[in-house]
Amino acid sequence: MAYKKNLFLKVAGCAFLVSMYFFRISNNIVDLDLWHQMALIREAIALGHIPLEDHFAYTPTLFPSVHHEWGAGVIAYFLATRFGAVGILAVKYSLAVCIAVFCLLCLKRRLVTLEVLIFLVPLGILLIERGFSTIRGQMYSYAFLACLLWFFELEQNENRRWLIFWIPLFLIWINLHAGFLVGIGLLGAFWLERLLRQKPHTHLILVGVAMLGLIAFNPYGFSYYSYLWRAMAMPRPYVQEWYPIWRSRDLFHLSIFFVSLILFAYSVKKIGMRNAQGIVVVLTAALASIFCTRLVSFYAIAWTCYVPGYVQRTPLKNIMSGVCIRLPRFLALFLVIAAIVYMFRMVSFGPWKLLVPSDHIKKYGDHPIYPVGAVEYLKEVAFKGNLMVPFDWGSYVTWKLYPNVLVSMDSRYEAAYPEWVVDENTRFYMAKNGWQRTLKAYPTDLVLVHKRLPLAKIMPQESGWEKVYTDSVFELYARPSLNLPVVIWTDRVFTGTFP
């Protein structure tokens, strides 16, 4: 066909997809979890071993405290302390490239053409982008999952050499992030499909058993199993990414998700379930995502690897090809303009910068912010004691101020804290009935408050504690008799440093 000879269209299409992908993941604000990952490894180096007990909180914690991201912390600490922000960003972009390469290998194996990629891959990008926080441990899971899906493609062609590589890779995955459970689940889905299609499958059962057994090979031993059971079963009412998809407040993301489901259902109906290899894998990932928004990014990878190949064999493919044949110049021009726009917007984000903001940056949308000024103040006054903090900021405080300062809570959530402690902390900052009891229950010296939280409205009048620090976003309240200088830094703009 004529458009296949149009080199300009091919280049424009590739430029568009690459620029869109990297623009959508170019939000380089430090993730909440990165701080506690590095703090754990810093403490482990000082102790000479990974601690089983928590060292960072003054509130009740779990024993053993199982940090499923400890391996990600090793990588982050090494890179941050030796290469700074450059090292962290290098890993993020390397993982992004790795994910893209494995997805493209799957698409190539299924002979998906450029016109289908141009129209469908953007959906996959829009679905996965929310998982690319800089740098969450689950990014490692995305890369390992994409690799596993490529191995499934090799298995479809009866090429079993992947088994030699998969077991050691899975052992690494176990110690980087608990997202390996998704890998086990999708391996089970792949096995079930092989069974239903009456293809060789016994070896996959053995692989699954081996994967389950390998979970014990970590610093926490068999305690990891009980941790995983608890983590999977516990409710997380205060973390939106664990909500079912229908409770999502992001209508755009929700609409993209349902469009992807419609395309999946349409293509399977057209080509037939027997011809849709990988259908059980995609369906399993989709169902898991419906009940847990956090898993949408995993579904995005599975969808991208399989669904374009289904659409390739439907009448919809002819429509896409028709656009490319009839309007090659117009389409190429549109793609070039879109690629340029994405590139300029990405450059405006400063993708080479790692940011630690103390307030919201509008162009990044919703993102973490940090009490940079409050931490600077505590350093200046050489404060030592216990700081009550909300979920979001405990890890940052720990990295910057430990061992002088212990926190009440941080983003480790189920890894370190009983559910009732999380609930108690949240109710305290939401100023629910009984919040004063929480203030008196622990040896708290200071309370960090975001001005927009309900607690900020009643803390000055009803607590009897003194406001010793305030900036444009945060306040610090000191217990009675704690003599600290009072400062007002509302006219100052704070920029956090990494690490």
Q: What are the b/e assignments for 12-33, b being 16+ CB within 10 Å?
A: bbebbbebbbbbbbbbbbbbbb
Distance CA 454, CA 430 (A): 5
Do 316 and 378 belong to one domain? no
Query: What is the spatial distance between Cα 78 and Cα 59, in angstroms, rounded to a whole number?
Result: 29
Of 304, 333, 362, which marks where a domain is finished? 333
Share of the chain above pLDDT 70, in %: 99
Asked if residue 383 and residue 320 are part of one domain, the reply reads no
Flag whether 131 is in a domain: yes
pLDDT digits (tens, 9 = 90+) for 140-171: 999 999 999 999 999 988 888 999 999 999 99
What's the pLDDT band for 71 if we cut at 50, 70, 90? very high
The answer, yes or no, to whether the previous bond of 64 is cis (omega within 30 of 0) is yes
Residue 205 structural domain: 2-30+66-333
Domain-embedded: residue 197:
yes
Last residue of a domain, one of 308, 333, 358: 333
The per-residue pLDDT for range 304-319, each reduced to its tens digit, is 999 999 999 999 999 9
Within this chain, do residues 327 and 380 fall inside the same structural domain, yes or no?
A: no
The reply to whether 21 falls in a domain is yes
Q: What would the two tokens of residue 395 be?
A: 């890890």
Total domains in the fold of the chain: 2
196 vs 216: CA distance, rounded Å: 31
pLDDT of residue 376 exceeding 70, the answer is yes
User: Taking 80 as the threshold, does the pLDDT of residue 354 lie above it?
Assistant: yes
5 pLDDT above the threshold of 70 = no
Report pLDDT for 365: 73
| 20 and 156, same domain (yes or no) | yes
Based on the domain organization, do 324 and 376 belong to the same domain?
A: no
Is residue 42 a part of any domain in this protein?
A: no
Same domain? For 309 and 207 the reply is yes
> Which residues, other chains included, contact 454 with Cβ-Cβ below 8 Å and sequence gap of 6+?
429, 430, 431
CB 158 within 8 Å of CB 197: no
Q: Are 239 and 191 found together in one domain?
A: yes
The pair phi, psi for residue 5, each rounded to 5°, is -85, -5
Residues 316 and 456 in one domain: no
386 and 317 in one domain?
no
In a 3-state reduction of DSSP, which class is residue 29?
strand
My answer on whether 428 and 308 are in the same domain is no
Contact 281, 189 (CB under 8 A): yes
The answer to whether position 99 is within a domain reads yes
Q: Do residues 458 and 329 both lie within one domain?
A: no
Place of tokens 């090494």: 78
| Domain end point (choices 273, 303, 333) | 333
Residue 444 neighbours by CB under 8 Å, 6+ apart = 58, 386, 387, 388, 408, 479
* Residue 3 pLDDT level (bands cut at 50, 70, 90): very low
DSSP line for 300-315: HHHHHHHHHHHHTTSH
- Burial class of 179 by CB neighbour count within 10 A (0 to 12, 13 to 18, 19+): buried
Residue 359 inside a domain? The answer is no
Element (H, E) at 323: helix 315-326
Tokens read off for 49: 């071993």
Residue type, 231: A
Given a cut of 90, whether residue 1 has pLDDT beyond it is: no
Q: What is the DSSP string of 191-246?
A: HHHHHHTT---HHHHHHHHHHHHHTT-STTTTHHHHHHHHHHHS--TT-GGGS-GG
Where is pLDDT greater, at 72 or 481? Answer: 72
Contacts of 472 (CB under 8 A, 6+ apart): 359, 490
Residues 56-60, mean pLDDT to the nearest whole number: 97
Token pair 């669904």 is found at: 307
Confirm whether 452 is domain-assigned. yes
Residue 346 in any domain: the answer is: no
Whether 328 and 385 map to the same domain: the answer is no
pLDDT bucket at 2, cuts 50 / 70 / 90: very low
Please, which residues have CB within 8 angstroms of residue 389's CB and are 6 or more apart in sequence?
397, 407, 408, 409, 410, 448
